[in-house]
Structure 1
Amino acid sequence: MEAIGDDELGMVLKRLNNKSDRISCSQVCKQWLRVEGLLRTQLRVLDPSLLRSFLPRFPNLVALELGKVLPDVDLEFVAETCPNVQILNLNLRQTCPVSDSTEEIGYDDLTGDGICSVAGRCKGLKKVYLRRRKGIGNVGVISLIKHCTDITHLDLSWCSRITDGALESLGAASSLQSLNLHGCSLITDWGLASLATGSSARTLQKLDLSECDRISDIGVVFLQQLCCLEELSLAECGPKITDAGGVSISAICGLKSIDFSWLINISDATFLSLANNCNHLVWLNITGCELATSAGLRCFATHKSLEVLIAASCYSLSADGIEHTLLGCSKLRYAVLDKRLRGWISGDAIANVNPLCRIEWR
């Protein structure tokens, strides 16, 4: 019997969808091990310390995940070994909690030097996730945008060294669709203006600015120029965002998801504008908006697309206002409401709410 060639063996291995079966096949002999490695397109690395011993077996990787501490030299090795990678997930998974807020924990292991190496060699990158990599600064981001012109998704949440300089570069990106800047507290209004007036204004669909507490209405007003935006979070961005910014956001008619939670100076004027202009809105979070009243909530009673309403810790809402909204919003599927009002809403009203709507009390 003739030996099976690499091409024939490759055709056999491609038919194996079960991960454990692929691993078993790779243990048959050296040829099977080599061919299986050439066919592998996705890999999650659990122990980066062994990276140099096994990564060369997978030169055709498209998606790579490394969630632990990673020095620049190892990332440079990744760039040299896997130049075809398109999805690079370096989100840091915290395994040793030191405090109650894991989002504030990060390491300065990986810096802009490592990201520059990847950007220079892996020019086909489309999705890059760098959550909690606190050593990443503007240089790495600028290099990614310069060399990886097809990048669509970028997660920089809790990368605390990111400043307006990075946003100026991001604004010039021509294919960026999703940008997460959650916890990048050095960003200011100038950065938002740069982001919203560049090429990315025509492509960006999802933007998370949660806890960027240096921004104000001045910068938020520029966001209305993001004509393709569908998802926006301004959660916990501080008291400098008021109805001036909130009303301007409603000019983005295609918005489907908005998070205004804990914006204490957003009031009914914003909600009225959203209800009237954002006809495609599906998800709305106004938790902790102290100025929200039943008058503002009632604006959504006839909304045709709203499916999720989160309105916990809104102490000025009345049982009547909530009742009216729940009964009138025909597409509502899920609502989170303040538990103190539970006893004031009639059982009949709750029973009459769309049977598909689940109510959670907090």
Structure 2
Amino acid sequence: MRGHDWINTCLPDELVVEIFRRLDSKRSRDACSLVCRRWLRLERLTRATIRIGATGSPDLFVHLLSTRFSNVTNVHIDERLSISLPVHLQGRRRGVENSSASSLKLNYLNVNNGSEEGDLDSLCLSDVGLAALGDGFPKLEKLSLIWCSNVTSDGLASLAQKCSSLKALDLQGCYVGDQGLSAVGQCCKQLEDLNLRFCEGLTDKGLIELALGVGKSLKSLGVAACAKITDSSMEAVGSHCISLETLSLDSEFIHNQGVLAVAEGCPQLKVLKLQCINVTDDALEAVGASCLSLELLALYSFQRFTDKGLCAIGNGCKKLRNLTLSDCYFLSDKGLESIATGCKELTHLEINGCHNIGTLGIESVGRSCQRLTELSLLYCQRIGDVGLLQVGEGCKFLQALHLVDCSNLGDAAMRGIAIGCSNLKKLHIRRCYEIGTKGIVAVGEHCKSLTDLSIRFCDRVGDEALIAIADGCSLHYLNVSGCHQIGDAGVIAIARGCPQLCYLDVSVLQNLGDLAMAELGENCPLLKEIVLSHCRQITDVGLAHLVKRCTMLESCHMVYCSGITSAGVATVVSSCPNIKKVLVEKWKVSQRTKRRAGSIISYLCVDL
């Protein structure tokens, strides 16, 4: 019968809550919460996650949230996000950021740079706020306190006592001491994940006591820039944390002794990330001999180990799937060959700035690592076409390829990849000057699954390449920044052939004009982000055509576009209801546009 509330009359609270939990978007849940007070109250019960940026009164804010969302188990507080002025001093922010169905995100406007230090301190979460978290969210399982500099050991200890079910704790950038960490070890016996990056107030004492308390449950540990945490802590971790699966260390105070202790004491280790300049081959040999379950290994800035250590990994870690070698100057093709022949399960490989690794090493990967799905070669000057030709022949499942500053790779390499790796979905190339139109045309002809293409500052790529891509692929993401030979013809082809395009960067294209903008506006209604900076031939007319049908546009960068005036900026702001960011010169924004959309406009240069 019309006018009768059958839902609220017949359905119990439990069933309505279950319906809300099954909604697939935050927008739908928010809409339901506005129907009536009962639905608002019940919808709040379904919230599991809250994300908070900096606020005017964070302690009070946390308390207010705890009174409204009683079933929250995951709280993420990040004070790197913008700090807000008090509500009565600022206007309302336009738009609400989308998020997952179980998440509430709260973001705020920037405070003026001239704020005094005392004022900023009052804007940071303190021990009072931690106490409110403990009182309001007793079911808390995951807590992230990112750069909450006013939080101390007292607050952390108080929270640990109230939230004994805590499983994950991120203290990145918090100046807590040993007392607080010890309390976590004593009270939170289910703790599995701990991040201590940039916790400068900690010493070995705190981490040792934590290892004693939660050694049986701890599975993941991250330590970085903690000058007072040394090998003694790692020895305690190796002795007590027998279930440890993930370890990330970034420290100049950790030596072989600490890594050896973890390798020998934590046989279940699956993920190891090391940036420790004082670790040598001896530690990696221990990892290869003891960590037989290792699946991911990342080595950064190692200058004291050689192929000997990498050979040990290849001989022992047969389950290795993901390997990153960054700025490891003494590694050569021999070490990479040992990995390729020994770790046949390898699916992801990144080589960054390892100048002694060349064509022979990549050839061995192509011959032996048939399951490779992602390959990144960054600043690898000694790798030539033959290496990638072998990858094309042997790695039929390759889906992503990243090439940066590889000066010896050319069209032959790209053609080999295109013909052999027809499942390629992502191709990112930057400053590889020998790769030109022919290589990209081959990609368009053979890689029909390609959806993500970036060819930045590749001077030899022209319009014919984009025409071939548009004819063979349905791109969602395209970046051709700095490809000077590309003009209207190539971008028009993309507009007509890739109607699902969501992101486009055509910055620094001097031959691109309004015709291409009109075609994009006519054929790409899903476009959300576009970068037009340094495109001198694009004018207000082109912008008007672009935004006519691109109503989903959220971000537009258009600095140093001499043909775009304040009228064009106003057109973008007024025509795009979902716009969240406009990057432009300050002098091109009229007072009316500032009043209408000041919160979404960013300036590259201010008051020059």
Q: TM class, shorter-chain normalised?
A: 0.7 to 0.9
Q: Post-superposition shift, 1:212?
A: 1.1
Equivalent position of 1:242 in the other structure: 487
What's the counterpart of residue 300 of structure 1? Answer: 546
**Structure 2 residue corresponding to 1:186, chosen from 416, 424, 434:** 434
SS in 2 for 1:154: strand
- The runs of 4+ residues in structure 1 deviating greater than 6 Å are 12-15, 26-31
Task: Specify the code of the residue in structure 2 equivalent to 1:190.
Answer: K
Deviation at 1:72, TM superposition (A): 0.8
Structure 1 alignment gaps of length 5 or more = 1-11, 93-106
Q: Which residue of 2 aligns with 1:104?
A: none
Find the counterpart in structure 2 of residue 39 from structure 1. Answer: 293
Find the counterpart in structure 2 of residue 124 from structure 1.
Answer: 371
Give the C-alpha shift of residue 354 in structure 1. 8.3
Q: Which residue number corresponds to residue 444 of structure 2?
A: 196
Shift of the 280–60 alpha-carbon distance from structure 1 to 2, 3 Å rule, reads same
> TM-score under structure 2 normalisation?
0.51
**Is residue 264 from structure 1 mapped to residue 510 from structure 2 by the alignment?**
yes
Task: Please state how far the C-alpha of 1:336 moved relative to its aligned partner.
Answer: 0.8
Cross-structure match for 2:397: 150
- Offset, 1:50: 4.7
Residue identity matched to 2:490: G
Partner of 1:9: none
- Cα distance change on mapping 1:246 and 1:295 into 2, 3 Å: same
Superposed displacement of residue 189, structure 1: 2.2
Identity of aligned residues (%): 22
Q: Secondary structure at the match of 2:546?
A: coil
TM-score norm. by structure 1 comes to 0.83
> 1:16 matched to which residue of 2?
219
Task: Pick the aligned partner of 1:350 from 565, 588, 594.
Answer: 594
Instruction: Tell me the secondary structure at the aligned position of residue 166 of structure 1.
Output: helix
Question: Which residue is 1:206 aligned to?
Answer: 452
Between stretches 18-27 and 302-311, larger displacement belongs to 18-27
Question: How far, CA to CA, are the matches of 2:414 and 2:298 in structure 1?
Answer: 30
Q: In the alignment, what sits opposite 1:102?
A: none
Of the three residues 326, 334, 349, the one matched with 1:73 is 334
Quick one: distance in 2 between partners of 1:28 and 1:215? 52
Q: Post-superposition shift, 1:299?
A: 2.1
User: Which residue type is aligned with residue 487 of structure 2?
Assistant: T
Bigger relative contact order (CA 8 A; separation at least 6): 1
Q: Aligned partner of 1:244: which letter? A: A
Q: Deviations over 1:295-340 (max 9, x none)?
A: 1112233422111101000011111121121121111111111233
Shift of 1:59: 2.9
Paired with 1:40 and 1:161, the residues of 2 have a C-alpha distance of 33
Are 1:337 and 1:361, in contact at CA under 8 Å, matched by a contact in 2? yes
User: 1:149-203: per-residue Cα shift (whole Å, max 9, x none)?
Assistant: 11111111211111111121222222111111211111222222222111x1x11
CA 1:30–1:160: 2 relative to 1, 3 Å: closer
Q: Helix, strand or coil: the match of 1:235?
A: coil
Any residues of structure 2 matched to 1:50-61 within 5 Å, and which? 50=306, 52-53=308-309, 55=313, 56-61=315-320
Asked whether the 8 Å contact 1:298–1:322 carries over to 2, the reply is no
Following superposition, the deviation at residue 85 of structure 1 comes to: 1.7
Q: Which amino acid in structure 2 is aligned with residue 318 of structure 1?
A: T
Question: Gaps spanning 5+ residues in structure 2: where?
Answer: 1-214, 224-233, 243-259, 270-290
Q: Which residue of 2 aligns with 1:171?
A: 418
Q: Decide which moves more: 319-328 or 40-49.
A: 40-49
Matched, 1:360 2:584: no
Is the alpha carbon distance of 1:174 and 1:220 closer, same or farther for their aligned partners in structure 2, counting shifts above 3 Å?
A: closer
Structure 1 position 51, deviation (Å): 5.2
RMSD over aligned CA atoms reads 2.5
SS in 2 for 1:180: strand
Query: In the alignment, what sits opposite 1:220?
Result: 466
Give the Cα–Cα distance (whole angstroms) in 2 for the partners of residues 116 and 175 of structure 1. Answer: 20
Moved more, 153-162 or 17-26: 17-26
- Kindly provide the amino acid, as one letter, of the partner of residue 278 in structure 1: C
| Change beyond 3 A, Cα 1:34–1:261 | same
Is the contact made by 1:221 and 1:248 (CA closer than 8 Å) also made in structure 2? Answer: yes
Question: What amino acid maps onto 1:353 in structure 2?
Answer: A
Secondary structure of 1:115 counterpart: helix
Whether the 8 Å CA contact 1:332–1:354 is kept in 2: the answer is: no
Structure 1 or 2, whichever has the larger Rg, is 2
More off after superposition, 263-272 vs 133-142: 133-142
Cα shift at 1:65: 0.8
1:278 alignment counterpart? 524
Q: Distance in 2 between matches of 1:14 and 1:121?
A: 37
The 3 A distance-change label for structure 1 pair 122 and 219 is: closer
Q: What are the residue-to-residue correspondences of 1:78-97 with 2, within 5 Å?
A: 78-92=339-353
Letter in 2 for 1:214: R
Taking structure 1 as reference, are residues 43 and 14 closer, same or farther at Cα in structure 2, changes over 3 Å only? farther
